Amino acid sequence: MPQRREVILAPKALEMLEAAHPSDQERDAIRHVLSDLGKSLVHSYRIAFMEPPTYRIDVGRFRIHFRYDEHCVQVGFIGVY
């Protein structure tokens, strides 16, 4: 079984999350998905034409963009568009 990756959130990602005024339920759902990203990337997909490779996972109205390697998941965006 692969080792769990550390999930690192960029300060800008947290700022964008707060700017979208998430409800308590949305906050819980995002927290759950971020926790799961450390274990499995199965529900995400690669964003076309981005280098280095960047992936996206949707949580309700929110989009989470991230990059990863064998040790960590780096989240650069949590917001709506």
Backbone angles phi, psi at 80, to 5 degrees: -120, 150
**What are the pLDDT tens digits along the chain (81 aa)?**
457 899 999 999 999 999 999 999 999 999 999 999 988 888 899 999 999 999 999 999 999 999 999 899 999 999 998
Cβ-contact 27, 39 below 8 angstroms:
no
Q: Which domains does the chain have, with CATH numbers?
A: 6-79 (3.30.2310.20)
Among the listed residues 80, 68, 70, the one whose alpha carbon sits nearest the alpha carbon of residue 34: 68
